[in-house]
Chains A and B, each alone.
Chain A
Amino acid sequence: MEYTSLTVKEKALLDSLKDAIGAIDTEIAKVVAQKILDAKIDPRIALKYSFAEAAEIVGAKFDCGELFLPHLVMAGDLMEEVGAILEKDIPPNEIQKKKAIVIATVQGDMHSVGKNIVSTMLRSSGFIIHDMGVDVPSSAIIQKAKEVKAEMIALSSLLTTTMPYQKEVIDDLVSMKLRDQFKVMIGGGPVTRQYAESIGADGYGKDAIEALEEAKRLLL
């Protein structure tokens, strides 16, 4: 079943779900999700269409200052909850695996604000996020990425004296012959695209919006 093959009524249900998620209304979203299942609409279409469109809406509202960080957290929670309702009607082997990202502020750096915004933004766009917090040693980041089978490592640094740890993670991945297993995206106040390229990072985001676009480009 494809989106284009749905009836007008069925499409309206998917739009209702998109709108409910965009408005971060968990109760309505749960009710609509159940209606979608009751109407025998393939839940994979709802996940693909309604969730993706809603994530765009939420991101755009955050970008223009209409929504704030807590709304992104709530949108992420909502999508997990409603996603679970829809996924119960999908055979386990057909559930599309979400991409996992390990994110951290590197060793010696206690700054969390930018990293938290990126982390929340990625989560509300459907990625599985393993946020390790701040001041995290390179070895622990790599260990976590291996453990959760992450597809990407995202590294934040707000200080010129902690930027070398972003390079260290990449160098360690190379030494451990793991470089091909993970995309690496970096960001933070003093970090530039040129620096990202110079240390061999795959991606760079100057802010949360750009980081999200970069993650989509690299993983989807």
Chain B
Amino acid sequence: MTRLSFWEILKRSKMGPMLEEKDFDLLMFKKTQDLQKEYGIKYDPEKPVDIDGVQADRIYQAGVELFLDLGTYCTTTKRIIQVSAEELKSEIEACPAEINLGQGSDRVKMSHRDVEGNQDVIVIAGIQTAPFSDGEMMFKIYKGCAMGRSVDGIWGGILLKIEGQHDVIAGAPSEIYQYKKTAEILRRAVAAAGRPGMITINNAPTNPATIAMFDENLGLRRSDYMEVTGMSEMKVAYDDLNRTAFALAHGVTIHGTHSSVIGGFSATPEGAAIVSVAGSLQLIVVQKAETFRCGAVESRIKSRATRRNLWVASTAIQGISRNTRLIVDGSMGDHPGAGPGTKQYLYESAAGHVLSTVMGAHSTEGTRKFVVGNVCNFGTPLESDWMGEVCKGAVGMDREAASYLVRYLLAKYEAHLMNPPEGETFEKLFDQETLKPLPYYQNLYGEVKEELRSQGLNFII
């Protein structure tokens, strides 16, 4: 089996049927709603976890049908990129079921995971794409994140000022300069943590700045991955495909992300689950991803761990895990609504990461409060530790137990999602001399850990 050439995809992006973007959006809505009825897909808020996989299989089949019927809309050419059922089948079979990331003793194997599987779960934590006040603070926080025993890699963020006074602006020369410098700090931090071969990831707003971060000595390496994003929903632009082009030429693993939007053009939770599958297929076929994040986002609520989102993402992930050998990323607890230093952050993070792991996914998208704005240092190494400990603790858990735990957690935080606790910055949560959590935060962490242990989460670290 071979994968469809990227150049063939580009050719189709220039020769496929033309359509106005609005018409594509409405067509997707109609097809998705039709498929939802045809396959008998039904979201039941009382059952946020699909325990027997029946809905998951239907969602997978509906997602395949949607992808084949609708295709991917290229916003640059206003044309639809279509593939045949045979090409899709071949593409899925030719995708690797196992890859290696990182170097030396920090190298890890990331493989297809089964639902309720015992395969290792890879965790790339870190305070993803968040702003930091200065290089020293960034280094300290990254180093702390890299020292977490449950963490296999870390995401970087950005310093908002050059020389403490010049704004970093996307698309301007300052962006390339600063993202490259940030990647250097990230690499130095993992080395200082005693893990020089650790996976480091970052993603700048524009292509040139993202590409500039790749440097085998002091930057992102071929042994890391390059993230490519699909536009919500089921769209791609040449700007996205430029990242693929670079990654293919450079020889770095491509990791894709796409989110369906609950309340968006996929409309219902059922529709969003179908589009989550179809968007994942887009990532491997069109954007040549070898691993991909399958997920969704709410149009109104700023948290990934809403009841609906947990069902949407976990059922879509389960469908892919049950029906393919693809390497799936879930990261469902990556962006809690609550801020660091609060119990709610840990609850939301746990609900998402338990489900991701149990449904057969890795979690490689870092972790931070959903909206950090331009508040600097809005995260600590402890949330990274939590992400890793929860994911690794959930390996081997069955769906029944995961369902119980998730319902327990939802009862703790669900009523506060529209107005979550803001949380505190690193300076307020960690001792600046010892770089250890302040007693208040350490105790809160320990308390929640014991609470979840008593509810069935088997922490191994």
Interface residues of A (CB under 8 A from B): 65, 68-70, 73-74, 107-110, 112-113, 116-117, 133, 135, 159-165, 189-192, 195, 207
B374 contacts chain A at the CB level, 8 A cutoff: yes
Q: Specify the main secondary structure of chain B where it touches its partner.
A: loop
A80 → chain B, closest Cβ, in Å? 13
**Can you name 11 A-B pairs with beta carbons within 8 Å?**
A68-B299, A69-B299, A70-B25, A73-B26, A107-B170, A108-B169, A108-B170, A110-B237, A110-B239, A161-B175, A189-B373
The answer to whether A159 and B205 touch (CB under 8 A), given A69-B265, A73-B22, A109-B170, is: yes
A194 CB to closest chain B CB, in angstroms? Answer: 10
Q: Which of B170, B299, B302 contacts A162 (CB 8 A)?
A: B170
Query: In the complex, which of the residues A74, A110, A117, A162 contacts B169, with contact meaning CB atoms closer than 8 Å?
Result: A162
Interface contact B167-A164, CB-CB below 8 Å:
yes
Measured between beta carbons, the chain A residues less than 8 angstroms from B169 are 108, 161-162, 164-165
Q: What residues of chain B lie closer than 8 Å to A74, measured between beta carbons?
A: 26
Among all A-B residue pairs, the 4 with the closest Cβ atoms: A108-B170, A108-B171, A68-B267, A70-B29
Residue numbers in B under 8 Å from A159 (CB-CB): 170, 205
The contact string, 1 if C-beta is below 8 Å from chain A, for chain B 22-39, is 100110010000000000
Residues of B close to A163: CB separation below 8 A: 374
CB neighbours of B131 from chain A (8 A): 160
Chain B residues, CB < 8 A from A133: 75
In the complex, B133 has a CB within 8 A of chain A: no
In whole angstroms, how far apart are the Cα atoms of A88 and B414 in the complex?
51
| Minimal beta-carbon separation of B372 from chain A (angstroms) | 7
Contact pattern, B 251-286, Cβ under 8 Å of A = 1, otherwise 0: 000000000010111011000000000000000000
The answer to whether B264 and A113 have CB atoms under 8 Å apart is yes
**Bound-complex Cα distance A116 to B29 (A):** 15
Could you mark each residue 352-391 of chain B with 1 if its beta carbon is under 8 Å from any beta carbon of chain A, else 0? 0000000000000000000111100000000000000000
Distance A133 CA – B231 CA, assembled complex (angstroms): 12
Which residues of chain A are within 8 angstroms of B240 by Cβ–Cβ distance?
110
> Per a CB cutoff under 8 Å, which of B26, B239, B300, B373 touches A70?
B26
> Smallest CB–CB gap between A192 and chain B, Å?
6
Asked whether B372 lies within 8 Å of A68 as measured between CB atoms, the reply is no
Interfacial chain A residues near B158, Cβ < 8 Å: 160-161
